[in-house]
């Protein structure tokens, strides 16, 4: 039996009670393969939605989430129970998507150089209408930091405090970014930005 | 802000494509399985000096395009990351030849299928020959010197060579896509160490690729479960890292996700049983290390079905039974009996003309059904010199009526691999026992395969054939004499009950002799 003061102090005990997924993570870390599979299954769609909103392509989102799932296998025992499992996973997914975007940017820069020499590489996303839509849509027009914040708060329903945890910024920053994003996306806001 | 959702009104994403979840799950489970035993081993730091990558698990996790015109670049993403995972020290060993071996941190290797639709525009390359191969593309520092493969590796078949720089332009579309998906600027990518210290000297330089080189990897490593059956059996080789403790859990189980293949010892020296018997006749337990479980099991004869003709001189009998040693574990018994013409001596000592030579046997486990296995009577691995080597020195002529029994402990997969990943015929198979041998006077090898299906599974120990139960009794006995580390709460009395119930006709009286021996062991010290 755990004494009451320990329960207050121990984040994983607290979480086991409030977050049913925490139990799954601890079981998986202890070697319960079924718990691990169940965790992946139940979070896949949510992670896919989050990552898709970051990158705007179904194929890339699938690859990234697959990677996230694999990463999860190697990091399952690093979950400390200090946040909700869904928040923790959102953080891993955001990082993977950021990494992807960074790589894509670097690749595009270099590929342009290659393509000048050998015209072999298909232009990026030339047959990807989904991505074109995404670029034209609200998210595509936002700056990276604003977009991430909007995806977490408006898309995933995280509180500003939770989003702050995922993004490793203060709660105030999240609130400020949300305000900026609203401003940028409202018609007037866009006009303002242009006239500034 | 409660109205954030309304205000931003984000587009809903498309549905993930069919099988995407299953692929992700399979990849995740592959990682989980590969890591789990290591974690149990006491948090050993990942070994980064030797990364062995095989494509089998990767291929299983991500289905290659088959006869389609679909570009493969999005499929290669996974392999690319697989390479990075290797850099994290994840040892991915999945039976078959070592594809690549790097010293130092490795990353950025990219695997791409050379699919069925491989471009035929590459002159001088037999496209069909590479149908199931993978292009492996690695970054090589400009000043690195190629290093020969470790001597343990068998020679690879000659690789296709990019004859002239011009030909490089007609390199396949798939490979181009793979390149496109590889980071084109790894040297500027500060997050990753761009250097691979060792590359194979048979890798092919390509002026267009800068520091990259590529090689093809043979089909045997790249085919999914079940496809290795016949023709590719002889290309299977134990990986030099097969004895690496990282592949083996603390209690001696090998992870199927890493090594789905196990050799099956075909020639077993049974002499040590006599020493055990003599010792117990004198009421003494022999030294633990002198007892050979496989020798004891194979000292006895079993009434396996006999092959009908000399053309197919071996018959394999398999049974899967609940293990009396460990809850949830199963035992796979493989009994192989050789052809015996009428009048030939029946039994372990061959007489008369040989029925076959150079016999090699291996079993491939289905990761959808089995998560780990252990060959009973060996320390994790059978001796390396038994079969599966080029010289196959141990496997000589096999006499008529030759019989051998092998036993594996199996840990069932707790969660079946999703059906999209488990290849169709394989959803419920435990594995396949592959044999390769030469008939006398034949110049080429013959192959046979016995699939271990649920039809061979017995739900209770008592329902299993008497031969199987007796073999388990003998193995249990040997293990108990050795200290009983693997047999759970089993006692000599249990062995006695098992053996008595499995005695059968026992015309030679050898099983009765065994029962008497168990009684002696109960009182020996």
Question: For the segment B308-328, what is each residue's pLDDT rounded down to a tens digit?
Answer: 888 889 999 999 999 999 888
pLDDT band at A71 (very low <50, low <70, confident <90, very high): confident
Rg (CA), chain A: 20
What's the pLDDT at B179?
Answer: 36
Mean pLDDT score across all residues of chain A: 75
A59 and A96 together in one domain: yes
Compare CB distances from B39 to A65, A77, A118 and report the shortest one's residue.
A77
The C-alpha atoms of residue B165 and residue B139 are separated, in whole angstroms, by: 18
Which residues of chain A does B30 touch, with a Cβ-Cβ cutoff of 8 Å?
70, 73
Say if the Cβ atoms of A37 and B17 lie within 8 Å: no
Contact at CB, A62 and B23, closer than 8 angstroms: yes
Q: Of A84, A99, A127, which residue sits at a domain end?
A: A127
Which residues does chain B have within 8 Å of residue A48's beta carbon, measured at their own beta carbons?
Answer: 13, 16, 20
Average pLDDT over residues B121-145: 40
DSSP state of B170: T
Q: How far apart are CA B370 and CA B411, in angstroms?
A: 6
The CATH number for A154's domain is 1.10.10.10
Average pLDDT over residues B511-517: 95
Chain A residue closest to B182 (CA)? A107
DSSP A78: G
pLDDT tens, B37-51?
Answer: 543 333 333 322 222
The string of pLDDT tens digits covering residues A88-142 is 999 999 999 998 888 777 666 554 444 443 333 333 444 455 555 665 566 777 8
The pLDDT tens digits of the residues spanning B226-240 come to 333 322 233 333 333
Residue A1 included in any domain: no
CB atoms B20 and A117 under 8 Å: no
Nearest one of B217, B129, B121, B220 to B173, comparing CA atoms: B121
For testing contact with chain A, the best of B17, B167, B184 (most A CBs within 10 A): B184
* The predicted structure's pLDDT at residue B338: 93
**Predicted local confidence at residue B477, as pLDDT:** 96
Q: Are the C-beta atoms of B48 and B40 separated by less than 8 Å? A: no
More confidently predicted of B199 and A98: A98
Chain A residues whose CB is inside 8 A of the B35 CB are 73-74
Residue B68, helix vs strand vs coil = coil
* B502 contacts: CB under 8 Å, gap ≥ 6: B466, B467, B469, B470, B473, B511
Pick A66's closest partner by Cβ from B10, B27, B33: B27
Residue B35 has pLDDT above 80, yes or no: no
| B5 closest CB neighbour out of A40, A133, A154 | A154
pLDDT of residue B4: 75
Same domain, A102 and A148: no
Do residues B326 and B406 make contact, with C-beta atoms less than 8 angstroms apart? no
Residue at a domain's end among A127, A148, A168: A127
| Gap between the Cα atoms of B212 and B215, Å rounded | 10
Does residue A3 fall inside a structural domain?
A: no
CA B403/CA B474 separation, integer angstroms = 16
Question: Tokens in use for B73?
Answer: 């670049």
Phi, psi of B269 (to 5 degrees): -80, 120
Which residue in B has a C-alpha nearest to residue A60's C-alpha? B74
Q: Which residue of B has its CA nearest to A112?
A: B184
% residues pLDDT > 90 (chain B): 21
Q: pLDDT value at position A29?
A: 87
Residues 6+ apart with CB under 8 A from B268: B294, B295, B298, B404
pLDDT at B420 over 70: no
Residue A23 lies in a domain: yes
| Same-domain check for residues A98 and A27 | yes
Range of the domain at A93: 8-127
Domain count, chain A: 2
Strand partners, B53: B92, B100
Residues A62 and A33 in one domain: yes
Distance in Å, alpha carbon of B7 to nearest chain A alpha carbon = 8
Residues B278-307 have a mean pLDDT of 90
> CB of A56 within 8 A of CB of B11?
no
The reply to whether residue A157 touches residue B33, judged by beta carbons under 8 angstroms, is no
Q: What is the CATH number of the domain that holds A68?
A: 1.10.1740.10
B413 CA: distance to closest CA in chain A (Å):
9
How many contacts does A have with B, using Cβ atoms within 8 A? 164
Which residues have CB under 8 Å from A188's CB, separation 6+? Answer: none
**Mean per-residue pLDDT, B382-386:** 42
Edge-to-edge strands, sheet with B110-113 = B110-113, B134-139, B212-217, B204-205
Tell me what the pLDDT averaged over chain B comes to: 62
Q: With a threshold of 0.80, does the pTM exceed it?
A: no
Say whether pLDDT at B74 is over 60: no
**Minimum Cα–Cα distance from A29: chain B residue:** B36
Q: Spell out the residues 6+ positions from residue B130 whose beta carbon is closer than 8 angstroms to its own.
A: B114, B118, B160, B216
CB contact under 8 A, B20 and A62: yes
Whether residue B183 and residue A106 make contact (CB cut-off 8 A), yes or no, is yes
Which one of A27, A45, A62, A158 makes the best mutation probe of the B interface by having the most chain B beta carbons within 10 Å?
A: A62
Among A48, A59, A114, the residue with its CB nearest the CB of B13 is: A48
Torsion of CA B303, B307, B309, B312, to 10 degrees: -150
Res B363: pLDDT: 86
Res. B84: pLDDT tops 80:
no
Task: Spell out the residues 6+ positions from residue A56 whose beta carbon is closer than 8 angstroms to its own.
Answer: A130, A131, A133, A134, A135, A139, A140
Q: How confident is the model at residue A70 (pLDDT cuts 50, 70, 90)?
A: confident
E strands, B305-445, are 314-322, 330-338, 356-365, 370-375, 397-398, 403-412, 431-438
Which carries the bigger pLDDT value, residue A8 or residue B211? B211
What is the rounded average pLDDT of the residues B242-252? 58
Choose among B78, B184, B191: nearest Cβ to A66.
B78
Contact across the interface for A133 and B415, Cβ inside 8 Å: no
Whether residue A66 is found in the same domain as residue A25: yes
Q: Do B13 and A69 touch (CB under 8 A)?
A: no
Q: Could you tell me which chain B residue has the CA closest to the CA of A43?
A: B21
Residue B275 CB partners (closer than 8 Å, separation 6+): B286, B290
* Identity of the highest mean pLDDT range in A3-12, B79-88, B285-294: B285-294
Q: What is the largest CA-CA distance in chain A?
A: 70
Using a CB-CB cut-off of 8 Å, the residues of chain A touching B20 are 48, 62, 65-66
- Per-range mean pLDDT, top range of A66-75, B26-35, B209-218, B332-341: B332-341
Write down the pLDDT at residue A138. 67
pLDDT at B371: 84
Give yes or no: residues A117 and A142 share one domain. Answer: no
The answer to whether residues A36 and A116 belong to one domain is yes
SS (H, E, C) B479-498: HHHCCCCCCCCCCHHHHHHH
Chain B residues in contact with A52 by the CB 8 A cut-off are 13-14
Same domain, A120 and A154: no
Write out chain A residues lying below 8 Å of B183, CB-based.
103, 106-107
Collapsing DSSP states into helix, strand and coil, what is residue A58?
A: helix
Domain spans of chain B?
47-222, 231-523
Contact residues, chain A, for B11 at CB < 8 Å? 53, 133-134, 137-139
């Amino acid at each position: 039996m755990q004494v009451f003061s320990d329960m207050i102090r121990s984040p994983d005990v607290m979480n086991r009670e409030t977050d049913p997924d925490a139990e799954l993570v601890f079981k998986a870390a202890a070697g319960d393969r079924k718990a691990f599979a169940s965790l992946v299954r139940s979070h896949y769609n949510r992670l896919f939605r989050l990552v898709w909103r970051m990158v705007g392509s179904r194929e890339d989102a699938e690859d990234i989430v697959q990677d996230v799932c694999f990463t999860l296998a190697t990091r399952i025992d690093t979950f400390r129970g200090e946040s909700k499992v869904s928040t923790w996973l959102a953080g891993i997914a955001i990082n993977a998507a950021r990494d992807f975007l960074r790589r894509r940017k670097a690749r595009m820069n270099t590929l342009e150089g290659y393509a000048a020499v050998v015209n072999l590489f298909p232009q990026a996303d030339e047959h990807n209408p989904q991505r074109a839509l995404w670029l034209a849509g609200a998210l595509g027009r936002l700056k990276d930091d604003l977009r991430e914040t909007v995806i977490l708060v408006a898309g995933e329903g995280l509180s500003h405090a939770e989003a702050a945890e995922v993004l490793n910024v203060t709660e105030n920053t999240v609130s400020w970014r949300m305000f900026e994003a609203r401003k940028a996306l409202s018609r007037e806001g866009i006009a303002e930005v242009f006239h500034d | 802000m409660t109205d954030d959702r309304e205000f931003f009104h984000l587009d809903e994403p498309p549905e993930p494509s069919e099988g995407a979840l299953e692929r992700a799950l399979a990849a995740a489970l592959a990682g989980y399985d590969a890591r789990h035993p290591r974690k149990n081993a006491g948090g050993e730091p990942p070994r980064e000096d030797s990364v062995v990558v095989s494509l089998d698990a990767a291929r299983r996790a991500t289905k290659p395009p088959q006869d389609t015109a679909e570009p493969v670049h999005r499929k290669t993403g996974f392999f690319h990351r697989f390479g990075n995972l290797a850099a994290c020290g994840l040892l991915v060993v999945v039976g078959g030849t070592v594809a690549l071996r790097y010293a130092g941190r490795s990353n950025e290797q990219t695997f791409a299928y050379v699919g069925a639709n491989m471009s035929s525009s590459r002159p001088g390359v037999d496209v069909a020959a590479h149908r199931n191969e993978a292009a492996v593309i690695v970054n090589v520092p400009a000043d690195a010197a190629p290093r020969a493969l470790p001597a343990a590796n068998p020679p690879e078949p000659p690789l296709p060579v990019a004859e002239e720089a011009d030909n490089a332009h007609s390199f396949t579309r798939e490979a181009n896509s793979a390149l496109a998906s590889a980071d084109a600027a790894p040297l500027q990518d500060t997050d990753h160490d761009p250097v691979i210290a060792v590359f194979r000297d048979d890798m092919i330089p390509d002026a267009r690729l800068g520091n990259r080189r590529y090689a093809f990897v043979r089909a045997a490593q790249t085919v999914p479960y079940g496809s290795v059956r016949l023709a590719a059996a002889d290309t299977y080789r134990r990986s030099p890292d097969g004895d690496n403790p990282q592949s083996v859990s603390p209690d001696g189980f090998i992870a199927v996700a890493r090594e789905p293949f196990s050799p099956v010892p075909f020639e077993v020296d049974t002499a040590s049983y006599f020493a055990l018997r003599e010792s117990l006749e004198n009421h003494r337990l022999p030294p633990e290390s002198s007892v050979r479980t496989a020798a004891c099991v194979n000292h006895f004869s079993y009434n396996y079905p006999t092959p009908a003709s000399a053309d197919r001189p071996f018959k394999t009998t398999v049974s899967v039974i609940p293990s009396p040693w460990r809850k949830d574990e199963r035992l796979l018994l493989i009994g192989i009996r050789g052809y015996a013409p009428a009048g030939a001596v029946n039994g372990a000592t061959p007489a008369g003309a040989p029925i076959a030579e150079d016999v090699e046997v291996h079993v491939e486990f289905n990761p959808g059904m089995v998560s780990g296995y252990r060959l009973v009577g060996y320390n994790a691995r059978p001796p390396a010199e038994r079969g599966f080597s080029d010289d196959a020195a141990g496997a000589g002529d096999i006499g008529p009526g030759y019989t051998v029994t092998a036993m594996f402990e199996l840990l069932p997969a707790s969660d079946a691999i999703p059906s999209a990943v488990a290849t169709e015929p394989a959803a419920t198979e435990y594995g396949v026992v592959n044999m390769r041998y030469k008939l006398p006077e034949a110049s080429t090898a013959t192959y046979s395969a016995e699939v271990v299906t649920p039809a061979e599974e017995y739900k209770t120990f008592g329902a299993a054939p008497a031969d199987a139960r007796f073999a388990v009794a003998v193995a249990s006995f040997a293990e108990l004499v050795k200290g009983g580390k693997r047999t759970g709460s089993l006692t000599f009395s249990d062995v006695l009950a098992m053996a008595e119930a499995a005695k059968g006709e026992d015309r030679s009286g050898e099983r009765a002799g065994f029962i008497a021996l168990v009684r002696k062991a109960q009182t020996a010290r």
